[in-house]
A and B are shown apart, each in its own frame.
Chain A
Amino acid sequence: MGDARDLLVVGAGPAGMAAAWRAAQNGLRVSVVDDNPAAGGQIWRGGPPEATVWFERIRGVDVDVINGARVFQQLRPGTLLAETTSGVRELSYKSLVLATGARELFLPFPGWTLPNVMGAGGLQALVKTGLPIEGKRVVVAGSGPLLLAVAAYLRGHGANVLLIAEQASSMQLARFAVGLFSKRSQAFELKRQLKGVPYRSSCWVSKAYGTEKLEGVTLFRGKKSYQVSCDYLACGFHLVPNVELAKLLGCDVEPGGVRVNEFQQTTLANVYSAGETTGIGGLELSLVEGEIAGLAAAGKHDAARELFPLRAKQRKFADLLNRTFALCDELKHLSTPQTIVCRCEDVTFERLQKHTSWRAAKLQTRCGMGPCQGRICGGAVEFLFGWSAESVRPPALPVRIDSLIRK
């Protein structure tokens, strides 16, 4: 597409697809760009049944979905650059929706770098993309509703899910259960799928052990430790928004996500943001935010306003969600001095402890200077030391030198 499209959507997950659909429905020329080989983001990777209606909606309107394209830089306001296997694409737009989703929060603990220790969403993604899991023993741990969804999915594919260790307390979880009333059918379905799998609250993995790969974990609960042998550990501590591209473009970003107004507009006039990127809140909130962004970009503010009540309702759920799964202080003390915190540069806890700021720690230890560009260790050091992330420099993701030259 040589001319500027009316709307470019970055991210082909639920929020991005909802925005693209609404905008295209209202006559805009829309492109959606995504790093993954297929649309769906994380939650709809592989196109599960519940996503079908949305995939059909996208097929039913005139939307150009560009997969396998990594947005890494802004060429000038109004044009983004994306790397593909065959070179760099310039993507010009009049309006932009950032629907870049979220990633899991990883916290270090002894042994967490062993092969076969993965994120909860991480192991699920691997199984969805072809990893055989039948008969394998899996411990699911960390925090958040994702653990339940992952445990149910893995079980449904033949895994032997040994237990789910949730760091939140039973009281926090009880409050959440009450608030789930509106989602009770989903909750009931999950409960059914997980019958027989122990769900332990105030419980976390204090150590993963094994020689060349994971052989088992030590679980801690209420002052008692016990060991469980397993083949995989699926461990993630809820989600954090992917705000790097928004920061690179100059949008205001708050601790919880990209700052947006009631029409999902960021602090940059023609840039919108929707979904987990603006704050973790689950699937339904992502969809309605996406729709509002798409309608607003198309100038249909009245139609957008009609969705405000639904969004407000979903936001209440999101608040409950994030309060419930707030991380307990004990998780700050899992590391030993030798526990690796930055996996890219093998920087240990004791080397980081000495510093008083992220910048000083980075310069002196090279923590956060590896290929993950601080995405894995950043959330951890914020939780452990209170250091907040810095400004983002290009490229937003590692790209070939040729791509920086724009060949």
Chain B
Amino acid sequence: MSSKTYDVVIIGAGIVGSACAAECANEGLSVAIVEAAIIGGGATAAGMGHLTVMDDSEAQFALTRYSQQLWNQMSDALPREVEHDACGTIWVAVDDEEMAEVRRKEKFFAERGVRTEILDAQSLAEAEPNLRPGLVGGLRVPGDSVIYPPCAAQFFVNQAMKKGAKLFLGTPVDKIEPDNMHGVRLSDGSTISAGLVVNSAGSSSPSLTHGLEVKKRKGHLVITDRYPNFVRHQLVELGYLKSAHSMTAESVAFNVQPRTTGQLLIGSSRQFGVDDSHVDNSIVTRMLERAVEYLPRLGKLSSLRAWTGFRAATPDKLPLIGPHAEHERLYLATGHEGLGITTSLATAKLLVDQIVKRESVIPVTPYLPARMARGAVHA
């Protein structure tokens, strides 16, 4: 039982929570971090650590771009275990329609200062010899990179603790602001008193804040043995966004990442309304079949493990960053769907800006939790 009152108590030490903790501590706030199980053990551990700029909306672009810049500024300070690798992304086009999309993306990014390169069929094949013949081209984004997220989350927690943050590890939060106290009560009955509570519990955040419009979106991944240089960039099909934006029950999309170890991370899948974490053979099969369509030689590679994770998805695909509409002492930093790793750093900045009432580098309105109230949001 702690008698101290912290400025902020942060629930969940995934990549978002831990980045927020580090930023709050850096700001001089006294921070308590409560993590029920393992640092970076939720979606942070399950997903791909792809740091990428997205163009599906201005708000998504602003957030990913700002956050990517923060990652780049930090890259030298990241420990070796974070495995930061500036390998870049290639968005792969299979036909002329997708190639038109490539040109649209290039224009969008160019107008906003993001350097990209249009690849025709030949230069795509040279860049990635293991892609199947017959693809028409792609868009290379050299500023994108990959990391190993659990170690990044640990790094941020360490940064926070160096600045005085206290870590409460292994006991889940039972209730936020119980019995008119400000803070949290843990499942062992102890309480942590804080001026503000930040719910950054990812796909578990709705269990702590009633009515939160965050739904679990299950994903699968498969990892292979080491095949250095089998692919050199993160490779994503242009249909990926269709899958990510679709509200249908389930979808797969080609998404392959080379790890610095030479292992390949193969994704991706999305399912709504599935609560159990067991590996679904039929989804894995579909996902791998899709991947083999793009990388025919992938079939012969040795796979070591398949697993699942739960993204935290909101109805408008944008995260919730800021004060709860009805409880001014409760802040939210959740709902990042598949972009939590990328946008963790910008989320932390926007959160702290709002706590200290400072204007942010990018407009915060699109991410405010208040937008969800009274049907203000179009799905």
Contacts and interface: CB of A to CB of B under 8 A. Distances in A.
A317 to B, nearest CB: 38
Contacts of A405: 285, 288-289, 292, 299
Interface stretch (B23-31, B304-312, B361-369): B304-312
Contacts of A365: 81
A401 B300 contact: yes
B38 interface: yes
A395 interface: yes
B376 to A, nearest CB: 38
Contact of A400 (B37, B40, B291, B303): B303
Given A363-B150, A398-B225, A73 B299 contact: no
B288 A369 contact: no
A394 B154 contact: no
A202 interface: no
Interface of A: 73, 75, 357, 359-360, 363-365, 369-371, 373, 393-395, 398-407
Contacts of B307: 393
A146 B300 CA distance: 37
B38 A363 contact: yes
Indicate the size class of the contact surface on chain B. Answer: 20 to 34
Contact of B300 (A364, A370, A400, A404): A400
A75 B282 CA distance: 9
A395 B300 contact: no
A395 B306 contact: yes
B281 interface: yes
Given A75-B281, A359-B41, A363-B41, A401 B224 contact: yes
B17 to A, nearest CB: 15
A147 B154 CA distance: 43
Given A73-B281, A371-B302, A373-B305, A404 B38 contact: no
Contacts of A398: 225, 302-304
Contacts of B330: none
Contacts, number: 79
A406 B288 CA distance: 10
B225 A407 contact: no
Interface in B144-174: 150-151, 154
Given A364-B151, A401-B299, A357 B225 contact: no
B45 A371 contact: no
B47 to A, nearest CB: 13
17 contacts: A359-B38, A364-B150, A370-B304, A371-B302, A394-B306, A395-B305, A398-B225, A401-B288, A401-B292, A401-B299, A401-B301, A402-B292, A404-B284, A404-B285, A404-B303, A404-B306, A405-B289
B299 A407 contact: yes
B39 interface: yes
B303 A395 contact: yes
A371 B292 contact: no
Nearest to B83: A366
Given A357-B38, A363-B40, A393-B279, A400 B299 contact: yes
Contact of B38 (A360, A369, A393): A360
A247 B151 CA distance: 28
B43 interface: no
Contacts of A402: 292, 299-300
Contacts of A395: 303-306
B367 to A, nearest CB: 28
Contacts of B301: 400-401
Given A371-B302, A400-B302, A401-B222, A406 B39 contact: no
A295 B302 CA distance: 38
Contacts of A407: 299
A216 B337 CA distance: 55
B298 interface: yes
B281 to A, nearest CB: 6
Contacts of A370: 304
